[in-house]
Amino acid sequence: MGMEIIDFKATKCKHCYKCVRYCEVKAIQVKDERAVIMSDKCILCGHCLKICPQSAKTLRSDLDMVKGFIREGMRVVVSIAPAYMGLLKYKTIGQVRGALMRLGFEDVRETSEGAAFVTAEYAKLLKEHRMDNIITTCCPSVNDLIEIYYPQLVPYMAPVVSPMIAHGKLLKEELGRNVKVVFLGPCIAKKKESRDPRHDTYIDAVLNFNDINKWLEEEDIVIEDCEDQPFTAFDPRVNRLYPVTNGVVNSVLATEEESDGYRKFYVHGVANCIDLCKSMSRGEIKGCFIEMNMCSGGCIKGPTVNDEFISRFKVKLDMEETIGREPAEASRMQPVWENVNFGKRFEDHAPKDPQPTEDQIREILRMTNKLKPEDELNCGACGYPTCREKAIAVFQHKAEVSMCIPFMHEKAESMSNLVMETSPNIVLIVGDDMRILEYSDVGEKYFGKTRSEALQMYLYELIDPVNFQWVFDTHQNIHGKRVNYPEYKLSTLQNIVYIEKENAVLATFIDITREEELAQEEYEKKLETIDLAQKIIHKQMMVAQEIAGLLGETTAETKTTLTKLCHSLLEDGADAGYAGGEEDRDIPNVQLGSGAVPLSGVMTPGNLGGGAGAGSTSPGSATSGTMSGTTSGTPSGTPAAADARNASEAGVSSGAAPKEKASKGYVHIGSAAPSGKKTGYVHLSSSDLKKPGGSGGR
C-alpha cells in the first residue's frame, strides 16, 4: 500500500542511503543497490520524500480522479482540514469556500466538524477512566507506528476514528451514500487510512494543498479575489486547533465538564513518538492522556508543506489567537450519535521477520571484515545505527553487505593498490598542475623511478607532457596513440583519458618496444626480398632479349635457306620434265609464302614463301586441291601476284595427280605421286605439251 502512495523512481536513486538513515522505522529495503519502500512496514511519515536529494520519491496524486468525478457530473463534497487556516492565503474564511466551489464542488465543509465528535468521544473515555493510558488516534501515522512496531501498546490506543473518517461518516449520513467525499489536507498518511478496510467507504479521494493550489492556478482562480461564502454547518470552534501541537489536549480540556484524573501532555516528531513508545513499553508511564503527532509541529508542518514559506511558530500563534476556546455546540451534535458509530478497533500488524542467531550475525559481520568487536565502527553510514543492526537487516533481506561504506572504501583501495602493483602496463594519474598522483610499480622498470619517488615529481620531469596537456585543454581523450621515448629505449601504445569529476588525467602505457623491433626487422626483410626480385627480373629480361636476338637470326637464316631450296627443287624438276619434249615451256616463278601448310610432310611452294594462298579451287584446275594463285596480303597488281596467277594457270598443285588429263597442264609437287610414279617426281600434263599424256622425268 505504501508503494502505491509514494512513487519511487529507481533510475534516480544513487544509493546514497540517506533515506535509510533518516527512516526511523527502517521501512526502506535496499535491493540491487536501489532503495525500495516496504509497504507493510512504512508508516507514511513522508520524511523520505522531503530529504531525498535526488527527488527519487514522489507522491501519487488523486487530482485527476477528482476532476473525473466532477466531469462525470457526480456530487462531490470537500472535507477541508483546519490546517488550511495557516497554509492558504485569504482575507476571510468564506473566500476559501468560495474558491473551491468555483472548481465545481457541490459543497465545502470543515473536517473540524468531525473533530468535534472525536473530542467528545475522548471526553467520554476520560470520564470512564477505564484505561491506564490513553493515546490519541487522530494521526494515522502514529496509529501505524503502534500497530506495526509496538503492538503491545494497542490497548492504550483510544478506540476512536480520526476526524477525517468521522467527518466522512457524517457527510455520507447527511448527504447520502452516493456523494463523493474528498479530503483536503497536508497529510499523506490519510491516503492509506482512507483505504483501510475497516472504513474504506467513507473517503473517496485525498488531495493535499499542493494539488489544490495547482488546480486553482490552472483555472486562474485567486482565493483572495473570490466571493465570501461562509461555512453553513455548525461551528466546531476550539476543534479547529487540532492541526497545531497541543490542539487535541486544548480541545478536550475545553469540552469536558469536570476533572478526569489523567495527566495530559503532547508529543510530536517521529523520534519523540518512538521514544515515548519505548518508555511506555517498559511500563514507565501510567495514568496519562497523550496527544501524539508524527509531524514535528503538528499537521501544519505535514510532509507536503513547503518549509521555505511556512513558519510553524507563526501559524501556531496566529491560529491560537484567532480560534476561540469554546466547545462545539452539543445540541447540534446530539442527534448524530444515534445513527453514526465513531468507534474503531485497532490491531496487531507486526510483521513476522525472522531473527538470526548470534553465529549468523557473526558470519555476516565477517563478510565485511568485522572479526572483532573493535572492528564494528557503528558509523551509521549504511543507514543503520550499529553494525549488528545492519547485519540483522542483511539477514532479513532488508539490506546488502555492500552498504558498509568503510568496508567498500577499504576494498576499493585494496583493489586499486592491487592494480597498481600487478598491472603489466604503466598506469599514471596526473593532476591539472601536472603533478603525478598515481604511478604503477611497473613504471620503475621503464623509467627508473620507484612509486614513492614518482609521486613526488611532476610529469615533465619524467616524460614529455604534451599529450597530457592537450587532453586537459580539450577534454578529449586519446586512444591507441604510438609514442616513442628514445631516451628510455621505449615504444608505447597510449590511452589518455580525462576524468571530469577529479579534474585529472588517467593514462595507460602498453610496452610495444619488442613488437616495434620485430616489425622493423620484418620490414627490412621485405625490402631485401623486393630488391632480389628486381634483380632477377632484370636478369631474366636480359636473357630474354639475347634469346630473342638469336631466334631472330636463326629464323632469318632458316627462311633464306628453305627459300633457296624450294626454288632449286622447282628449277630442277622443270628442266627434267622438258628434256624429251618437242617444245619447251618456262616454269612459272612461284611466289612462296609462310601461310601455306605442308601436305604429307613434303615442303611445297605454298608453305615456303610469304603470303601463299591455301586450298581454294581455281578455274582450270582439275581438283579441289589446286593451290590458289592469290597471295594473302599481296596486291593483285604486283609482280608477285602475277607470278601467283601464272602458277595457278600452270596448275601448280600440292594435291595428288588427277586420274584423267586436264585441259590445261600443271606441275605437281606432293607426297603422293601419280599412279606408277615415285614420291618426289615433278609431274607435267598439259594439252599444250607436244607429248600428250607424257610424264616428266625424276
Is the pLDDT score of 245 beyond 90? yes
**Same domain membership, residue 51 and residue 89:** no
* The predicted structure's pLDDT at residue 81: 96
Q: Note the pTM of the prediction, 2 decimals.
A: 0.64
Q: What is the mean pLDDT of residues 128-134?
A: 96
Task: Quote the longest CA-to-CA distance of the chain.
Answer: 186
Per-residue pLDDT at 128? 95
CA angle 664, 694, 565 (to 5 degrees): 80
Which of these, 688, 595, 589, 693, lies nearest to 643 by C-alpha position?
589
C-alpha angle 234-237-239 in degrees, rounded to nearest 5: 105
> Please, is 37 exposed, middle or buried when counting C-beta atoms within 10 Å of its C-beta (0-12, 13-18, 19+)?
buried
Residue 236: exposed, middle, or buried by beta-carbon count in 10 A (0-12, 13-18, 19+)?
Answer: buried
Residue 150 lies in a domain: yes
Residue 348 lies in a domain: no
Confidence category of residue 656, pLDDT binned at 50, 70, 90: very low
First-to-last alpha carbon distance for the chain, in angstroms, is 134
Q: What CATH number is associated with residue 467?
A: 3.30.450.20
Which of 66, 87, 84 minimizes the C-alpha distance to 75?
66
Q: For residue 126, is it within any domain?
A: yes
Cα distance between residue 355 and residue 157, in whole Å? 28
Contact between residue 163 and residue 19 where contact means Cβ atoms under 8 Å apart: no
What amino acid is encoded at 248 in this protein?
A: V
Cell numbers at 663, concatenated:
585441259
575 falls in which pLDDT band (50, 70, 90)? Answer: low
Q: Alpha-carbon distance 684 to 674, whole Å?
A: 10
Q: How far apart are CA 679 and CA 670, in angstroms?
A: 7
- Residue 124: Cβ within 10 Å count: 12
For residue 454, what are the domain limits? 423-511
* Alpha-carbon gap, residue 81 to 208, rounded angstroms: 10
- Helices 140-149 & 270-281 angle (0-180, nearest 10): 40
Q: Do residues 313 and 186 share a domain?
A: yes
Asked whether residue 649 is domain-assigned, the answer is no
CA 64/CA 43 separation, integer angstroms: 25
Once rounded to an integer, what is the mean pLDDT over residues 436-459? 91
Q: What are phi and psi of 630, to 5 degrees?
A: -90, 125
Specify burial of residue 345 (Cβ count, 10 A radius: 0-12, 13-18, 19+): exposed
- The three cell numbers of residue 502 are 577529479
Q: How far is CA 681 from CA 353, 599, 659, 674, in A?
A: 131, 15, 16, 9
- Among candidate residues 33, 58, 83, the one where a domain is terminated: 58
CB-CB neighbours of 573 under 10 Å: 21
The pLDDT assigned to 573 comes to 63
DSSP states of 431-494: ETT-BEEEE-TTHHHHHS--HHHHTTSBGGGTS--HHHHHHHHH---EEEEEEEEGGGTEEEEE
Confidence of residue 2 (pLDDT cuts 50, 70, 90): very low
Residue-level pLDDT at 307:
67
Same domain assignment for residues 49 and 90: no
Residues 264, 270, 274, 275, CA torsion sign: negative
Same domain, 305 and 233: yes
Claim to verify: residue 179 and residue 66 sit in the same structural domain = yes
One domain, residues 35 and 71: no
Statement: residue 430 has pLDDT above 90: yes
Q: In the chain, how many H helices and how many E strands?
A: 23, 18
CA angle 54, 60, 65 (to 5 degrees): 155
Q: How many domains does the chain have?
A: 3
Taking residues 657-681, report their average pLDDT: 43
DSSP per-residue letters across 27-47: -EEEETTEEEE-TTT-----H
Mean pLDDT for all residues in the chain: 82
528 CB-near residues (< 8 Å, 6+ apart): none
Residues 152 and 25 in one domain: no
At 343, give phi and psi (nearest 5°): -85, 155
Q: Which residue in 336, 318, 26, 290 sits closest to 138, CA to CA?
A: 290
pLDDT score for 12? 83
588 occurs within a structural domain: no
Convert the pLDDT of each residue in 204-218 to its tens digit. Answer: 999 999 999 999 999
d(CA 43, CA 442): 56
Whether 65 and 52 map to the same domain: the answer is no
* CA separation for the pair 95, 216 (Å, rounded): 13
CA–CA separation, 167 vs 145, rounded Å? 23
**What's the pLDDT score for residue 335?**
76
Q: How far apart are CA 319 and CA 296, in angstroms?
A: 17
Q: Are residues 68 and 41 in the same domain?
A: no
Of the residues 58, 74, 105, which one is the last residue of a structural domain?
58
Verify that 467 and 499 share a domain, yes or no: yes
> What integer is the mean pLDDT of 307-316?
72
Q: How many CB atoms lie within 10 A of CB 53?
A: 10
The tens digit of pLDDT for each residue in 615-640 reads 333 334 333 333 333 333 344 444 44
Examine the domain organization and report whether 76 and 38 are in the same domain.
Answer: no
Cα–Cα distance measured from residue 478 to residue 507, given in angstroms and rounded to the nearest whole number: 9
Q: Judge whether 173 lies within some domain.
A: yes
Question: What integer pLDDT is reported at residue 694 of this predicted model?
Answer: 41
* CATH number of the domain enclosing 14: 3.30.70.20
Confidence of residue 650 (pLDDT cuts 50, 70, 90): very low
Q: pLDDT at position 620, please?
A: 40
Cβ within 8 Å of residue 545, ≥6 positions away: none
Whether the per-residue pLDDT at 146 is higher than 80: the answer is yes
Query: In the 8-state DSSP scheme, what is residue 574?
Result: H
355 neighbors 398 (Cβ within 8 angstroms): no
How far apart are the C-alpha atoms of 660 and 379, rounded to whole Å? 136
Distance in angstroms (rounded) separating the CA atoms of residues 205 and 79 = 10
The answer on pLDDT for 515 being more than 80 is: yes
pLDDT value of position 7: 80
At 582, is the pLDDT very low, low, confident or very high (cuts 50, 70, 90)? very low
Condensed to tens digits (0 to 9), the pLDDT of residues 13-44 reads 887 889 999 999 999 999 888 888 999 999 99
Burial of 247 (0-12, 13-18, 19+ CB in 10 A): buried
Within this chain, do residues 246 and 179 fall inside the same structural domain, yes or no? Answer: yes
Of the candidates 145, 373, 163, which has an alpha carbon nearest to the alpha carbon of residue 271?
145
Position 684 in a domain = no
Residue 622 lies in a domain: no
pLDDT per position as a tens digit, 271-304: 999 999 999 999 999 999 999 999 998 998 889 8
The pLDDT tens digits of the residues spanning 366-398 come to 999 899 998 999 998 899 999 999 999 999 999
At 611, the amino acid letter reads: G
What does the pLDDT average to over 345-359? 94
CA of residue 395 relative to chain centroid, distance: 33
Task: Among 337, 361, 378, identify where a domain stops.
Answer: 337
Query: Which has more pLDDT, 370 or 647?
Result: 370
